[in-house]
Each structure stands twice: as structure tokens, then as C-alpha cells.
Amino acid sequence: MFGYYGNFGGAFIPEMLHRNVEELKDRYINIMYEESFQKEYRGLLKDYVGRPT
């Protein structure tokens, strides 16, 4: 993974979680521009982000 921090990728996670984080990243990349995902994401931002807890 070559990210902002070059060869290090900027990910400081336990080695045992690396595969899971990579899978999560790959799945996110596959859906991040789908309209249904964007609609749900915008709804969550509108209804929950910045609200009092």
C-alpha cells in the first residue's frame, strides 16, 4: 500500500488486522461512488453528524 507516507502507507495497525483493513479499504473503494451509498452516507451526515450526544 503506497499512501501519503510513501512505502509505509500511513497505517499503524497490528499486523493481525492488516488483511481485514485491506479488505475493508477495497470494498469501500468499490462502492464509494455508487449513488445508493452516497445517498445513505449523506443521510447519515445530515441526521447524525454534529448533533449533541
Domain ranges of the chain: 15-48
Report field, pTM of the whole predicted structure over 0.85 = no
Helix (H, G, I), strand (E, B) or coil at 6: strand
Reported as a single tens digit per residue, the pLDDT across 1-53 is 455 666 666 667 888 998 999 999 999 999 999 999 999 999 999 999 988 87
Three cell numbers, residue 34: 455508487
Cα separations in angstroms, 47 against 4, 10, 16, 50, 51? 31, 31, 35, 9, 8
Distance of CA 48 to the CA centre of its chain: 18
Distance of CA 23 to the CA centre of its chain: 10
| Inter-residue contact 10 to 2 (CB < 8 Å) | no
Look at residue 4 in the predicted model and tell me its pLDDT.
61
Look at residue 12 in the predicted model and tell me its pLDDT.
77
Look at residue 1 in the predicted model and tell me its pLDDT.
47
Look at residue 28 in the predicted model and tell me its pLDDT.
95
